[in-house]
Copies of this chain bind each other. A is one copy, B any other.
């Protein structure tokens, strides 16, 4: 995930409803499908009290296409119906980055 060009981060924060109800399987599927999308750069995710998933994309166009992906649309509908008590999506331009490795 090294980038010199401008790129975008989609921050998806969510609170789950109780129980799995097929959520784990869907989450893995969505990650697998996202990775095959044009313009996909990477994805990182962790959940404790809330879940945070950040996906990285080459352009706003790539993000729009991923949002409109048929399998993803189906998961979004199930998400609103079954899986999420609430969520928030933020689409962000990455302006600056730095890192540390031991």
- Alpha-carbon gap, A102 to B81, bound state (A): 9
| Given A49-B46, A51-B46, A95 contacting B98 (CB threshold 8 A) | no
- Do residues B13 and A54 form an inter-chain contact, with CB atoms below 8 A? yes
- Residue A100 interfacial (CB < 8 Å): yes
Shortest Cβ distance from A51 into chain B, in angstroms?
6
Contact A9:B84 (CB < 8 A) given known A46-B49, A46-B51, A52-B44 = no
Number of identical monomers bound together in the oligomeric complex: 2
A47 on interface, CB distance cutoff 8 Å: yes
Instruction: For the complex formed, measure the closest distance between the CB of A57 and the CB atoms of chain B, giving whole angstroms.
Output: 12
Instruction: Give bound CA distance, A8 to B13, whole Å.
Output: 16
Counting CB contacts under 8 A, is A32 at the interface? no
Q: A97 is contacted by which of B50, B84, B91 (Cβ under 8 Å)?
A: B91
Interface residues of A (CB under 8 A from B): 9, 11, 13, 17, 44-52, 54, 60, 80, 84-102
